Amino acid sequence: MLEKLTKISIQAIRMASKQGADQVEVFTAYTRTRNIYVENSVPHLSTNNVSIGLGLKCAIGKHVGFAASTIFSDKDVEKVVDECISIAKVSPEDPNFEALPVPRKPSGTVENVYDEELVETEERELLKVVNQLVKTAESKVNVKVLNGLLRIGEFTFHVANSLGVDQSHKGTLVFLHFSAKASENGRVGEGVEKAYSTTLKNLDFEKIGNELQRKTLTTLRAESYKGKEEMPVIIVPVELQGLFESTVAFAISGEHVNKQRSPWKDKLNNEVASKTLTVIDDGRMPGGILSALIDDEGVPTATKKIIENGILKNFIYDTYNAYIADTESTGNGYRRLTRTVEEIFMRPVNCAVSNIAIKPGNKSLERMISEIDRGCLIEKFAAPFADPFTGTFGLEVRSATLIENGSLEKPIKHALLSGNFYEALKNILMIGREQELIENMKLPPIAFEKLELIGQ
């Protein structure tokens, strides 16, 4: 497949250069996605989707265009080139555009990003693990798995430009999202369990099924929260990820810093979080969803300290934004996403985090709970996002448990957790020991000193 993609790339660069492009970048990709959807406890719908395509960026001086297409024949390549050149010709000058990436040879290795065995795994094997998960979750009589998705993605991409970049990468991806409902005497509860991986091997389907059952039964027992109080709050990794993505990942992006809209634009080498917080952007995290030797512009990836002991150390840059900031790309130009590999060639490069790792603390979750007199452990928000500009949030709590004298007591739901995530980062009480991979972030649970919980 790489041979076919390389041939398309070379063809596109030649054609665009011939038509007057000063600089050309081409990203070609083959993707295959298999989905198994569970409905009402059984695999109900399965898919097999294949695509091949091309994303092309052309610059004539500082006039830049981007065009992309699925590729079926040589004619499609010609059409993309014509389209891209015609866009560049009418596009006003972009004074910020300097150049595409220059070739830099990646050194080192990247581990656990492609699983040959997964690519070869037949449908019946996939159905077997899905059924095992459902059976485990439904081992208690009132739990039913109503929705589930197991997605297997595989991709090969080639990225090249007229300055000499010529790189490729292949990877695999597993995304799993299951929800179950429990009913009893007119009460209902719903639990959700997700998993992210580059291989099936390290996923324990029985453990996932058990967790799904536990979460479902917890929400079944949950009561609507009444009252309004400030308390320490522990947020588990699966919900913490969205909060980090909407704030920290936004604030450290070179694009937002350049646009003057990052709240941390003037905070380099200043304190932005508690001393216990260290955050790393690691383009080569073993088994990381976006890990590769190169980013999606063909620039070598690296491991960068973002926040070290609470101090903001670095921003991240793709090539375009690095030129604006008069620095070098940090290997953070991405088109790929974390839950699907479908048609990754359609998107232009975006300045984004690679894989984020939050340095774990030394306390288990049980120990963290035991050190809180009165507080709350949050396991599910409706949607865990804060305002990227201000950090404010008001999140509907779908599943949580109140902590009394160091023990988990009453499960609650129908409450609002409110606060400011940029401020909360400065008031971290404890960081847990066990990390989980959620999307492209490896995070432990974190306890924040004081957040407001409001009930009806």
CB of 305 to another protein, least distance (A): 25
116 Cβ contact partners less than 8 Å away, ≥ 6 residues apart: none
* Rounded CA separation 422/63 (Å): 38
Should residue 141 be labelled a site residue for another protein when binding is judged by CB under 8 A? no
Nearer to another protein, 126 or 280 (CB): 126
Should residue 237 be labelled a site residue for another protein when binding is judged by CB under 8 A? no
Residue choice 152, 416, 437, 438 for contact with another protein (CB under 8 A): 416
Should residue 230 be labelled a site residue for another protein when binding is judged by CB under 8 A? no
Should residue 69 be labelled a site residue for another protein when binding is judged by CB under 8 A? yes
Q: Within positions 323 to 342, which residues make up the interface with another protein, using CB under 8 A?
A: 339-340, 342
| Structure tokens given for 230 | 């400030």
Should residue 39 be labelled a site residue for another protein when binding is judged by CB under 8 A? yes
* Rounded CA separation 16/368 (Å): 59
CB of 430 to another protein, least distance (A): 24
For helices 2-18 and 74-90, give the axis angle rounded to 10 degrees: 40
CB distance 162 to 21 below 8 Å:
yes
Should residue 92 be labelled a site residue for another protein when binding is judged by CB under 8 A? yes
Residue choice 6, 17, 91, 364 for contact with another protein (CB under 8 A): 91
Other Cβ atoms less than 10 A from the Cβ of 305: the count is 16
Residue choice 14, 45, 374, 409 for contact with another protein (CB under 8 A): 45
Instruction: Give phi and psi for 36, each to the nearest 5.
Output: -120, 120
Should residue 403 be labelled a site residue for another protein when binding is judged by CB under 8 A? no
CB of 255 to another protein, least distance (A): 9
Closest CA relative to residue 347, chosen from 361, 358, 334:
334
Should residue 99 be labelled a site residue for another protein when binding is judged by CB under 8 A? no
Q: How many residues of this chain bind another protein (CB under 8 A)?
A: 81
Should residue 128 be labelled a site residue for another protein when binding is judged by CB under 8 A? no
Residue the block writes with tokens 């390389």:
6
Nearer to another protein, 11 or 420 (CB): 420
Instruction: Give phi and psi for 426, each to the nearest 5.
Output: -85, -10
CB distance 247 to 441 below 8 Å:
no
Should residue 83 be labelled a site residue for another protein when binding is judged by CB under 8 A? yes
Should residue 82 be labelled a site residue for another protein when binding is judged by CB under 8 A? no
Closest CA relative to residue 322, chosen from 96, 88, 167, 65:
96
Residue choice 201, 366, 382, 404 for contact with another protein (CB under 8 A): 382
Nearer to another protein, 79 or 426 (CB): 79
Report the residue count for the chain. Answer: 456
Closest CA relative to residue 191, chosen from 181, 204, 202, 177:
181
Nearer to another protein, 163 or 454 (CB): 454
Residue choice 47, 139, 270, 327 for contact with another protein (CB under 8 A): 47
Residue choice 14, 18, 20, 48 for contact with another protein (CB under 8 A): 48
**Contact code string over 239-268 relative to another protein, x by CB under 8 A:** --------------------xxx-x-----
Residue choice 169, 170, 413, 442 for contact with another protein (CB under 8 A): 413
Q: Report in angstroms the alpha-carbon separations of 33 from 88, 115, 119, 238, 290.
A: 33, 14, 10, 24, 16
**Contact code string over 164-203 relative to another protein, x by CB under 8 A:** -------------x-x-x------xxx-------------
| Structure tokens given for 375 | 């507080």
Should residue 72 be labelled a site residue for another protein when binding is judged by CB under 8 A? yes
Residue choice 5, 52, 137, 289 for contact with another protein (CB under 8 A): 52
Stretch that binds another protein, among 76-84, 195-203, 400-408, 441-449 (CB under 8 A): 76-84
Residue choice 8, 59, 67, 173 for contact with another protein (CB under 8 A): 67
CB of 393 to another protein, least distance (A): 6
Tell me the chain's radius of gyration from C-alpha atoms: 24
| DSSP letters spanning 258-271 | HTT--TTTT-TTSB
Residue choice 206, 396, 404, 409 for contact with another protein (CB under 8 A): 396
Other Cβ atoms less than 10 A from the Cβ of 409: the count is 11
Should residue 123 be labelled a site residue for another protein when binding is judged by CB under 8 A? yes
Residue the block writes with tokens 């990836």:
301
Stretch that binds another protein, among 164-172, 304-312, 382-390, 427-435 (CB under 8 A): 382-390
Nearer to another protein, 180 or 358 (CB): 180
* Rounded CA separation 319/357 (Å): 23
Other Cβ atoms less than 10 A from the Cβ of 225: the count is 23
CB distance 354 to 127 below 8 Å:
no
| DSSP letters spanning 352-414 | --S-EEEPP-SB-HHHHHHT-SEEEEEEEESS----TTT-EEEEEEEEEEEEETTEEEEEEES
Residue choice 16, 59, 68, 377 for contact with another protein (CB under 8 A): 68
